[in-house]
Amino acid sequence: MTQTATALMQRAIDAAVLGVEADPNPRVGCVLTDAGGEVVGVGHHRGAGTPHAEVDALQQAGGAARGGTAWVTLEPCDHTGRTGPCSVALLDAGVARVRYAVPEPWSEAAGGSARLAAAGVDVAVGPLREEAETVNRTWLHARRTGRPFVTWKSASTLDGRSAAADGSSRWVTGEPARADVHALRARCGAVLVGTGTALADDPALTVRDGSGAPSARQPLRVVVGTRRLPADARLHDGTAETLVVPTHDPAAALDAVHATGVHHVLLEGGPTLAAAFLRAGLVDEVVAYVAPALLGGGSPTVGDLGGTSIEDALRLETTDVTVLGGDVRITARPLGRS
């Protein structure tokens, strides 16, 4: 029984979600139907250097792809990198029609639809573009803006304190919230702090599983600032790669991270660094873990943002509220951001 165009593209999106969110490449899914409209292959991209979604699906379909249709979440690439162009693979397989949800935003990889159309393939934009874009929101942001998507993560008491007056901060939130932070780190390509946090807390900035052991895949650890870290700092322990960016300019720091291929940065720095990124307009999302506790003093969650009246407040739009044990996770974005 054949399926509708929307159902086929949704199946491709479901396949794309199986990819690695933190990978430098986008998450892409592909469904192949034969000439009669029956599904003969469902593929997804598993990370840089592995077959792209179209090739994965073609390998499953074999000769059944000839005369069929490819339903792809992202326009087939026309780029030779660690793997060949998907446009050529589709042509070689004899696919007659291609429907894709999101146009390729990267100029170096664009042109796949044009090559296919020039060869006589029926190419058109398919349904569910918004849903397909959501799967790759940070990757698309990086391609369109030239800088990584930045999520600022904070953990604070109900009165906005990230640490007590004596500097102690372990632990502001409970175990469920801390486990959620590790899941958030795992979805990001880099975790960024300032030298102040690195020197004061000696953090590992790694992703750990339920047993406390480091996960196999780790984000890039980024330290911003001009002070040197001691040789025995945990950020030098070899558990994950560490990039030191000797600058106080948030934009320059993001340029350095962008050059590594990372498209999603988790900002975990202290109040000074957080304020610098917010004042520069370089925070795209806020994930705030709030504990139902009061300190009445100590370090604020964020430093001076330059406002002097309530009208100067940086307003956010709440997109999600979730209870984690005894704590609350609030996800929000600055107004005007998508």
Cis peptide before 71 (omega within 30 of 0): no
User: Looking at 21, 54, 268, 285, which residue is catalytic?
Assistant: 54
CA distance 213 to 96: 49
The maximal CA–CA distance of the chain, rounded, in angstroms, is 71
Task: Spell out the residues 6+ positions from residue 43 whose beta carbon is closer than 8 angstroms to its own.
Answer: 15, 29, 30, 32, 51, 53, 54, 55, 56, 57, 58, 59, 60
71-264-12 Cα angle (round to 5): 15
CA distance 265 to 314: 21
Task: Spell out the residues 6+ positions from residue 48 whose beta carbon is closer than 8 angstroms to its own.
Answer: 23, 24, 25, 82
21 is catalytic: no
Q: Check: CB of residue 132 under 8 Å from CB of residue 102.
A: yes
Look up residue 39 and give its two tokens.
């599904």
Provide the annotated active-site residues: 54
